[in-house]
Structure 1
């Protein structure tokens, strides 16, 4: 895959495309240029070479990296943290209290991803490198991290997608890095002038009530920007949060129907893809649009999480 120049969001924040799944504009690493050079998300291990190349093209040495923050420990966001920090001698990895043990001993995390991704696991995620505990910093609800003379990041516990998920508020840009909690932004459609956002309901911690609470919490912060793990930044805050809330209701509604009829995740994925295509078709998006590679995959993984949620409810 050809290396891409990092995207300049403003005079201190950049986005490096990690080519997760071998696809552009899927998962990115944010670079915050402050006194303490800070990265948010690493992507999976195969993305680390792109992160290193991106840092180099921006003129940063790996020795300059001080903090690598992961919003949660799912492998598409944090799987490369162990590999990257190994080459960043002055860096520490910042993680949610529930996530630290998984980065120190990632065997269980890897087993869960292997169950979801099957034979594709090795290509998508290997190697998964444990992180020494003295390299980890835990940040919980309301805690802060000073990275510059005028920049102190604040951490908010934002479950719903995962219990080990926080979001990071940046006061300088009045923006928040939300990982997967408030959904996915499809850059492939933004190029066509369409802003489209869907929730991410992957297993095995998906909780729609907690997710909606987290969405409401982000809304109450009155931020000017949301920085998505997948992919890029939006200033259209109300539109993004409204869409994710509305689609969250659709996901749960369809999931309840499929579960009640003893259907499986494949049936649910098909129903969700149909609903999405129906909507996008109504605003003249072709069924052949390249965004559907990602949407089809996302609906499969999200369906696993929704069915898992209803199984746990035992209704």
Structure 2
């Protein structure tokens, strides 16, 4: 079953918080944990819904997958609202939020309010997580850290083995119209694909995605193989368009945008953010094509 990520109960201890396009998630237990921090404007929604569910208790952890504006946007707000909240992320992510240029970009992209309103509260990572680390949040709940770069360098996925729940963010892409899956290899195609392949080996009953959906049961188990197939096809489509348009990345982007973005209606990624990400994906494929050509060149010359 595919379900919208409206504020709702997923299992007896796992909840969606906030609006469906940019949700946060709450794992209840002796030391409750939040996952993802969405955008700054929705910080009050995440906080208020967590308070209702926890009935006066405070979340102990905030697990961030990566430091994009729509995944860490309310981290500073939540840290202020819940004193003692430990913000957790990767070593690479911790370095990112120490950079003034990154803070400026995250602030600018979180500009959804009125002029003069606070757009973002800078924060630091309190606990740097390592690949394979396990954090026990209650006697019967563990959060396992899985390093899954490719979408970004700092990307982490989280697995809760006791309930077979996986929170991979854009490591496995984002569902689009119908069966379409947006591939999200912003840094490197092969690294991204290896990360998805790594997650395919997990026993998953609940798959919680970054923007708008979670899957359960057979749909959850089928999603990652589908994401791998879509990723391969998307790379092949870009390679074909490179052949058609040469190095004109703007022309390639216009074709792809017309195929996968323009037909979408209703809530969807802001066009500016979509185009920035699409440009990165096209360039990642072009780099890969150039690298393969360079490797093959000496052999071809000998022939």
TM-score bracket for this pair, using the shorter chain length: 0.7 to 0.9
1:45 aligns with 2:26: no
How far does the alpha carbon of each residue in 1:174-230 deviate from its partner, in whole angstroms, 9 at most, with x for none? 1111011001135xx6xxxx554322234xxx2111111111111111222211121
1:74-93 equivalences in 2 (<5 Å): 74-93=68-87
Unaligned runs of 5+ in 1: 19-24, 279-286
1:32 aligns with 2:18: no
**Number of equivalenced pairs:** 279
Q: Determine if contact 1:106/1:130 at 8 Å carries over to the other structure.
A: no
Q: CA deviation at 1:28?
A: 0.8
Q: 1:296 to 1:79 in 2, by over 3 A?
A: closer
Q: CA deviation at 1:157?
A: 0.7
Once residues 34 and 200 of structure 2 are traced to their aligned partners in structure 1, the CA distance between those partners, rounded to angstroms, is 24
Q: CA deviation at 1:164?
A: 0.3
1:140 aligns with 2:130: yes
Once residues 120 and 40 of structure 2 are traced to their aligned partners in structure 1, the CA distance between those partners, rounded to angstroms, is 7
1:1-315 equivalences in 2 (<5 Å): 6-18=7-19, 25-61=20-56, 64-103=58-97, 105-112=98-105, 122-123=111-112, 127-132=119-124, 136-186=126-176, 194-202=178-186, 206-235=187-216, 236-259=219-242, 261-265=246-250, 267-276=251-260, 287=263, 289-290=265-266, 293-294=268-269, 299-310=274-285, 312=287, 315=290
Q: CA deviation at 1:259?
A: 4.5
Partner-residue secondary structure (3-state), 2:91: coil
Q: Determine if contact 2:166/2:207 at 8 Å carries over to the other structure.
A: yes
How far does the alpha carbon of each residue in 1:16-35 deviate from its partner, in whole angstroms, 9 at most, with x for none? 124xxxxxx21110000110
Partner-residue secondary structure (3-state), 2:21: coil
Once residues 238 and 95 of structure 2 are traced to their aligned partners in structure 1, the CA distance between those partners, rounded to angstroms, is 32
Once residues 7 and 201 of structure 1 are traced to their aligned partners in structure 2, the CA distance between those partners, rounded to angstroms, is 30
How far does the alpha carbon of each residue in 1:79-112 deviate from its partner, in whole angstroms, 9 at most, with x for none? 2211210221021001011111223x25232455
- Relative to the length of structure 1, the TM-score reads 0.78
Q: Determine if contact 1:38/1:66 at 8 Å carries over to the other structure.
A: yes
Q: 1:183 to 1:256 in 2, by over 3 A?
A: same
Q: CA deviation at 1:144?
A: 1.1
Once residues 248 and 217 of structure 1 are traced to their aligned partners in structure 2, the CA distance between those partners, rounded to angstroms, is 15
Q: Determine if contact 1:273/1:295 at 8 Å carries over to the other structure.
A: no
Once residues 165 and 110 of structure 2 are traced to their aligned partners in structure 1, the CA distance between those partners, rounded to angstroms, is 33
- Relative to the length of structure 2, the TM-score reads 0.80
Once residues 59 and 304 of structure 1 are traced to their aligned partners in structure 2, the CA distance between those partners, rounded to angstroms, is 42
Partner-residue secondary structure (3-state), 1:222: coil
Aligned-residue Cα RMSD (Å) equals 3.0
Once residues 268 and 295 of structure 1 are traced to their aligned partners in structure 2, the CA distance between those partners, rounded to angstroms, is 19
